[in-house]
Amino acid sequence: MNFVCERETILKAINSVINGVASKTTMPILEGILIQTNDNEVKFTSYDLEIGIEYIIESKVEEQGSIVVNATMFSEIIRKLPNKDIRISINSNNLLEIECEGSLYKLATMNPDEFPELPKISVENSIEIEQTVLKNMIRKTIFAVSTEENRPIFTGCLFEIENQKLNVVAVDGYRLAVKSSKLNSVHNNFSSVIPGKTLNEVNKIMLDSFDTVKIGIAKNQALFEMENCKIVTRLLDGEFLKYQNAIPTNWETRIKVNKNEIQNCFERIMLISASSIEKEKKYPVKINIELGKVTISCANQNGDAKEELSPETEGKDLEIGFNPKFFLDALKAIDDEEVYMEFGTNRSPCIIKSMEDGDYTYMILPIKMKD
């Protein structure tokens, strides 16, 4: 194997596959990146037995071949080399040589025949969607995915095709985010739960472009295909929340508020509440809604704070408590100038709705406040 390529191009491939490399494994081969040449292309592959990533770059290939090299060592050397052409080859001792101007590094290698093949997927259902659209859908939901492994089904996002729309849904037991987008062609209705880890990697690799990504679903695997990249992942087993039934359709109190103003209020309040939340003491931020006035406050052993806003209000007065981080996550994901916040009782969820994006809904459960 012998090829020459620009550092930035190699680095883009490494950055795309690096998070498919196994971090804790008894199989050293999974800690490596498989490098394979084919004509004037070089394919980089990583696979931790849950997610596999392939990324292809164009290169000047002088000799065909394949090898596996430790991902951490290889990536760190490439990152620190100057932004020039790099020659990568295998010498007579089966060491990987990396040459760039006056630099020469030689790395131990592993047998490419021992690298496990990515699963071959027999796609049963598939859709195509613009990369910029899917990036936006993932961005607006992924933060609500659960991090608790005791409920593995909620560590992923539901991808649901229904009535020619894609619904992406995330839930962690305390909040729920739903983003929908119309599809341009006719598809069968189907649904699958894709791990949040995979979606984070897909989001990093996709471009803010109108180029499409093809999503293929098989019995227990999903496949994401872009022009020069393929990502294979297992699907999560289990029954996802029937989310449509969980979202209230009526409200008793509603406010219409400038998104940046209320976001800034929560960010300041978090200076008082954050350490308590992190220590899981569950001190909430209190929201008091009266006619034409909203007061946001927090008091605990760290101190106390109060913010007042004058938004449009409708319905009953209300006093209710929430984890402020859950509010902030939603507000950061919304691009509109104003948002609706709808409330029921002080024990009912709050619904945050984008003013312009009618296909985005976010729901947060309240925290019971001490008297």
190 with 229, same domain?
Answer: yes
Answer for the pair 226, 211: CB distance below 8 angstroms, yes or no: yes
pLDDT string in tens for the chain (371-residue length)? 999 999 999 999 999 999 999 988 889 999 999 999 999 999 999 999 999 999 999 999 999 999 999 999 999 999 999 999 999 999 999 999 999 999 999 999 999 999 999 999 999 999 999 999 999 999 999 999 999 888 999 999 999 999 899 999 999 989 999 999 999 887 889 999 999 999 999 999 998 889 999 999 998 999 999 989 999 999 999 999 999 999 999 999 999 999 999 999 999 998 888 765 555 455 789 999 999 999 999 988 878 999 999 999 999 999 999 999 999 999 999 999 999 999 999 999 999 998 877 799 999 999 987 76
pTM here is: 0.91
pLDDT of residue 281: 52
Number of Cβ atoms within 10 Å of the Cβ of 280: 6
Residue 259 near residue 337, CB atoms below 8 Å: yes
Question: What tokens were used for 26?
Answer: 């008894």
Residue 102 is assigned to a structural domain of this protein: yes
Q: What are phi and psi of 49, to 5 degrees?
A: 75, 0
Cα 345 to Cα 353: distance, rounded to the nearest angstrom:
18
Q: Which domain holds residue 331?
A: 247-364
Tell me whether residue 17 is exposed, middle or buried, using C-beta atoms within 10 angstroms of its C-beta: 0 to 12, 13 to 18, 19 or more: buried
Q: Which of 114, 135, 166 is the last residue of a domain?
A: 114
What is the tally of structural domains in the chain? 3
Where residue 323 sits, what CATH number does that domain have? Answer: 3.10.150.10
Bridge partners of 314, per DSSP, are: 254
